[in-house]
Every structure is written in structure tokens, then in C-alpha cells.
Amino acid sequence: MKTDKLPYLITSFSDYIISEKGLSINTVKAYKRDLTHLHQFLKNKSVQTLDEKQFSLFLSSLKDRGLASSSIRRLIFSCRGFFRYLEREFEEDSVDFAPFQAPTIWEKIPQVLTTKEIDTLVQYIEEPSVEPMVRAVIEILYATGIRVSELCSLNWGDVGESMIKVQGKGEKERMVPIGKLALHALSLYQKTYKVKPTGRNALFLSKRGLRASRQSIWHLVKKCIKAAGIEKNISPHCFRHTFATHLLQAGADLRVIQDFLGHSDISTTERYMHLSMKKVCQDFHKFHPERTT
């Protein structure tokens, strides 16, 4: 099998993980980017020449180019899945990935807002000069911990009196509680813009009347954080980390948080225990009497 067939095989693999595995479009795009790196590395060589030694050189080249540990971790999983697919569908020999341990993602701790910073942010978005859509977006992100892609896909028909229906990864639906403050902000937004809160109408719209995109929500959050005077590099996804961390610090059960976030594996949720303990350790070293004696 020559590498000139790799683009076709990558496309075939992408179709497979969408239709059979139910992965999201954004995840599939990330997989394709990872496999494009491999295609570029192989150049004119056959994919059959890729063994453990060559794959190790491939990873080293990416590290030398400054690729983050989290990206290399995902790339290993992407390549592993791709070669298993080739082995099953085309009877190609697969690379033994056992020697390649995915680098830990703990090297980069997710950014989290403190409760004081949340209070500062809430005070800002409640000012009359702040657009109701900005307030509604911020309130919902923090109140529910949903992904920005899930926020963008919400319709008015998904919003209930105390719960919202979320379309998660792999087309999996889940119900997530939503508080009164977020619902109130949503009501103000609806009345201000006279949006029809019916059925499959998009919850959040762009200025052109189209469904809000991830990029538009990203810019909205960035602008809001800066205007509120919070000096942190906060993205919409940081509200998901903040939601989970604050719940855990308040004593919520890890399994409940897992359900809220839509994690299929509890180990994914357990990283917030790490974040919570990191904060405990920081407070210990900051406030323990031993430090001031």
C-alpha cells in the first residue's frame, strides 16, 4: 500500500468513525489532522514500512516541532485507531503501539475561575449596558457545564422549567439541570430580541439571524472576560472546568458530576479531583501558620 492511497484511506477511516463510532465532526477533524501529520512524515514511503522505530522517530519529530503533550496523546490514539481499522478492513499489519505510552495531560492544568472571579463576572453581566445575549450565554455555560458545541446546538424546545436537553458527543442525549438565574437571563434575552421560543428554533442566533457558531461564542466570552477585568486566558470551555470543580469543592458526588458533564468514563471526570486537590494544596501553602513563622 503506497502513501498516495493514504488520503483515500484517511477519508474512509473518517467516514467509518462518524457512521460506526458516532464521533462528532470536530473530533473527526482532529483525527484527520493527526493522520495528515503521519502522511507528511512518510512522504513517498509505503505505510507498510512504518514500524515501532519509525513511529518513535515520527513522535520525536513532532515533539521537536513543539507539539503539546495533549496533542501527541490524541495523535497516538488517532494512529492506533487508524491502524486497527486498516488491519481489520484491509488485512494490513498493524504497528505495535504498546511501547508508546500516551503522555500525561496533567502537564497543562485546565484554567478555572475562582468563586470570587465568578462573582465579579456576574456583577458585570448584570449591568444594564451588557447585551442580554452575553448574560444568557455566560449564565448557561457556568450553570450547566455544557460544551460550547452543545450550547450552539441548543434549540428553544430543549429548554424546560428546570432541565435542558443536551445533544452530546456521539449524538448522545442527556438531561442537565439549569438554575433560576440562567433561566431568568434567557427570558430577558428572549424578550429583548423578540426571539420565538418554539420547537427547533436555535436558542442563540448570530447578528445575521443564523445559529450562533463556536467561533462567535468564543469571541463573545473573550470580550466579556476582558471587559469584566478578569486577567485570565478564559475560553468557553473553561466554564465547564469551573462548573465541575466548584461542584466538587462544594461536596457533589463524582458520579453526579459525571452525568452532568456527559462523560462515558469516570476517569475523565476524576481529573477534577486533581484540580480540587491542587487548590487545597495551594491554600495550605498560602495560609498555613508555618509559612509565616
Asked whether residue 95 is domain-assigned, the answer is: yes
Q: Are residues 45 and 187 in the same domain?
A: no
10 and 136 both lie in a single domain: no
Residue 222's pLDDT is: 93
Catalytic member of 147, 189, 241, 246: 147
pLDDT score of 251 more than 80:
yes
**The predicted structure's pLDDT at residue 82:** 86
- Burial-class residue 278 by CB neighbours within 10 Å (0-12, 13-18, 19+): middle
**Last residue of some domain: 40, 67, 102?**
102
Cβ atoms within 10 Å, residue 282? 10
Report if residue 266 sits inside a domain: yes
Q: Which of 263, 271, 278, 279 is catalytic?
A: 263
Residue whose grid cell is 483525527: 31
User: Are 171 and 95 contained in the same domain?
Assistant: no
Whole domain around residue 200: which residue ranges? 115-287
Asked if residue 292 is part of any domain, the answer here is no
- Among residues 32, 74, 135, 240, the one annotated as catalytic is 240
Burial 214-224 (b: 16+ CB within 10 A, else e): eebbeebbeeb
Classify residue 197: in a domain, yes or no: yes
> Per the domain annotation, does 110 fall within a domain?
no
In the residue annotation, 274 being an active-site residue is answered as: no
Please tell me the predicted confidence (pLDDT) of residue 80. 84
Q: Are 203 and 159 in contact (CB under 8 A)?
A: yes
Q: Is residue 97 a contact partner of residue 80, using CB atoms and an 8 Å limit? A: yes
In single-letter form, the type of residue at position 106 comes to W
Identify the active-site residue in 214, 222, 237, 278. Answer: 237
Give the per-residue pLDDT at 3: 47
Cβ atoms 206, 216 nearer than 8 A: yes
85 and 169 together in one domain = no
Q: Please state which of the ranges 84-88, 187-191, 246-250, 251-255 shows the lowest mean pLDDT.
A: 84-88
Residue 219 is among the residues annotated as catalytic for this protein: no
193 given a catalytic annotation: no
Are residues 201 and 278 located together in one domain of the fold?
A: yes
The tens digit of pLDDT for each residue in 162-175 reads: 999 998 877 789 99
Phi, psi of 62 (to 5 degrees): -70, -40
Using the predicted structure, report yes or no on whether residue 215 has a pLDDT greater than 90. no
Q: How many domains does the chain have?
A: 2
pLDDT tops 60 at residue 156: yes
Domain boundary among 40, 69, 102: 102
Look up the CATH number of the domain holding residue 10: 1.10.150.130
Residue 239, pLDDT score: 95
- Is 160 found in the same domain as 29? no
* Structural domain includes residue 109: no
What are the tens digits of pLDDT across the range 98-148?
544 544 433 455 688 999 999 999 999 999 999 999 999 999 999 999 999
DSSP state, 49?
Answer: G
Q: Could you tell me if 152 and 212 are in contact, meaning their C-beta atoms sit under 8 angstroms apart? A: yes
The question of whether 237 is a catalytic residue gets the answer: yes
pLDDT band at 159 (very low <50, low <70, confident <90, very high): very high
Q: Which one of 35, 67, 102 terminates a domain?
A: 102
Query: Does residue 280 lie within any of the structural domains?
Result: yes
Judgement on whether residues 273 and 157 belong to the same structural domain of the protein: yes
Asked about 147 being catalytic, the answer comes back as: yes
The DSSP H or E segment spanning 180 is helix 180-193
Q: What percent of the chain has pLDDT over 70?
A: 81
Contact 203, 209 (CB under 8 A): no
> Is there a catalytic annotation at residue 142?
no
Between residues 97 and 80, which one has the greater pLDDT? Answer: 80
pLDDT at 184 over 50: yes
Output the domain CATH number for residue 281: 1.10.443.10
Tell me the mean pLDDT in the region 28-50: 81
Residues 130 and 253 in one domain: yes
Looking at per-residue pLDDT, the higher value among 49 and 34 belongs to 34
Hey, what's the cell of 208? 445575521
Instruction: Tell me: do 72 and 152 sit in the same domain.
Output: no
Q: Active site residue: 169, 174, 271, 279, which one?
A: 169
Rounding to the nearest 10 degrees, give the CA dihedral for residues 96, 98, 100, 101. 160
Give the pLDDT confidence score for residue 291 in this predicted structure. 45
Cα(80)–Cα(52) distance, rounded to whole angstroms?
12
Is the domain of 255 the same as that of 162? yes
Question: Are 178 and 215 in a shared domain?
Answer: yes
160 and 277, same structural domain? yes
Residue/partner pairs of 25-32 with CB below 8 Å, 24 or more apart:
26/149, 27/169, 30/74, 30/78, 31/78, 31/81, 31/82
Q: Is residue 83 part of a domain?
A: yes
